[in-house]
């Protein structure tokens, strides 16, 4: 009996876990390829449907997605890639600056 109650804690001294005050996730930095993938999601899924084979393994979709995304990125000319890189840089600059007073007031 003594061994059974050796690890017993009194319930009246238990403190609740402190709630995190920062519930909002900070956005992550991105690159041109990720911006391209977000803006061309429909085109990527259409190409995936054309190339998809009859397989049900979960990792196959991820592999196929990355292959199609990279192919479309490679087919894009350097001017188009630079445009997406510029969008990524402006987005990352906004992340570094942090929220504005208007964002905080909302």
What local confidence, expressed as pLDDT, does residue 85 receive? 96
Asked if residues 92 and 30 have their Cβ atoms less than 8 Å apart, the reply is yes
What local confidence, expressed as pLDDT, does residue 87 receive? 95
% residues pLDDT > 70 (the chain): 73
Show the tokens assigned to 9. 């804690």
Q: Model confidence over 5-46: pLDDT tens digits? A: 666 666 666 555 555 555 667 778 899 999 999 999 999 999
Pick from 73, 81, 91, 89: nearest CA to 37: 73
Q: Model confidence over 41-97: pLDDT tens digits? A: 999 999 988 888 776 676 778 888 999 999 999 999 999 999 999 999 999 998 888
């Amino acid at each position: 009996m003594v061994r059974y109650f050796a690890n017993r804690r009194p319930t009246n001294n238990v403190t609740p876990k402190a709630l995190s005050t920062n519930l909002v996730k900070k956005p992550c930095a991105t690159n041109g390829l990720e911006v391209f993938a977000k803006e061309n999601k429909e085109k990527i899924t259409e190409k995936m449907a054309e190339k998809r084979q009859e397989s049900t393994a979960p990792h196959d979709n991820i592999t196929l997605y990355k292959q199609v995304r990279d192919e479309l990125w490679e087919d894009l000319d350097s001017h188009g890639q630079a445009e997406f890189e510029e969008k990524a840089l402006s987005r990352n600059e906004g992340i570094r600056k942090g929220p504005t007073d208007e964002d905080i007031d909302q």
